[in-house]
Amino acid sequence: MNFLLENWILVLAALASGGMLLWPTLVSSSQGAMLSTAEAVQLINREKAVLIDVCEPTEFAAAHVAGARNIPLASLEGHKSLPSNKTLPLVLVCQSGARAARAAATLRKLGYEKAQPLAGGLKSWREANLPIEKSAA
């Protein structure tokens, strides 16, 4: 106890640095972490997750994750292609992951609590050598 009192600055510095190391983990878990490609594939195979691409139709036509539904971010709310079963996991994809993160937040507000964005978007899907489709022009 005497050590703690005499070295309170060191103890404070240790607690502060530990807090800073834990901060990113705490923030990402409270915001709904992004899925890796491996986690997304597991959700699709094991829990029948629905793939939703939130890119614009022209981007979707150029290249998209095989089997994904195209629902642009701007028309997400109330779209007829959203699953009626709100307990199904949703994997949201866009080009980089930024729009997918916004879409996941929107869908969670609509009651789809298992909506999660794919980290890195279509780019990470390609890098993992997973199947990609192109729509007929």
Minimum mean pLDDT range among 32-36, 49-53, 106-110, 127-131: 32-36
- CA distances 65 to 6, 52, 129, Å, are 60, 9, 11
Tell me: do 95 and 126 sit in the same domain. Answer: yes
The total number of structural domains that make up the chain: 2
Is the model's pLDDT at 40 over the cut of 90? Answer: yes
Give the model's confidence band at 125: pLDDT under 50 very low, under 70 low, under 90 confident, else very high: very high
Q: What is the CATH number of the domain that holds 57?
A: 3.40.250.10
10 CB-contact burial (10 Å; exposed 0-12 / middle 13-18 / buried 19+)? exposed
Classify the C-alpha dihedral 56-60-65-67 as positive or negative: positive
Same domain, yes or no: 26 and 69: no
Q: Report residue 3's pLDDT band, with 50, 70 and 90 as the boundaries.
A: confident
| pLDDT attached to residue 28 | 52
56 and 99 part of one domain: yes
Q: What percent of the chain has pLDDT over 70?
A: 92
Structural domain span for residue 17 = 1-30
Are both 57 and 117 inside the same structural domain?
Answer: yes
pTM of the predicted protein model: 0.74
Regarding whether 127 and 107 lie in a shared domain, the answer is yes
- 25 and 61 belong to one structural domain: no
CA angle 41, 24, 86 (to 5 degrees): 40
Residue 114 has pLDDT above 70, yes or no: yes
Query: Which alpha helices (DSSP H) does 31-128 contain, by range?
Result: 37-47, 57-62, 98-109, 121-127
Same domain, 80 and 54: yes
* Same domain membership, residue 60 and residue 4: no
Taking CB atoms within 8 Å and a gap of at least 24, the contacts of 32-36 are: 32/104, 32/105, 32/108, 32/115, 32/116, 33/116, 34/97, 34/101, 34/116, 34/117, 34/118, 34/119, 35/91, 35/116, 35/117, 35/118, 35/119, 36/119, 36/124
Domain match, 103 and 118 both: yes
Is the per-residue pLDDT at 72 higher than 60? yes
Predicted confidence band of residue 30 (pLDDT cuts 50, 70, 90): very low
Same domain, 38 and 69: yes
Mean pLDDT of 67-88: 92
Distant-in-sequence, close-in-space partners of 106: CB < 8 Å, separation ≥ 6: 73, 76, 77
Average pLDDT, whole number, for the chain?
89
Same domain, 65 and 122: yes
* 99 and 122 together in one domain: yes
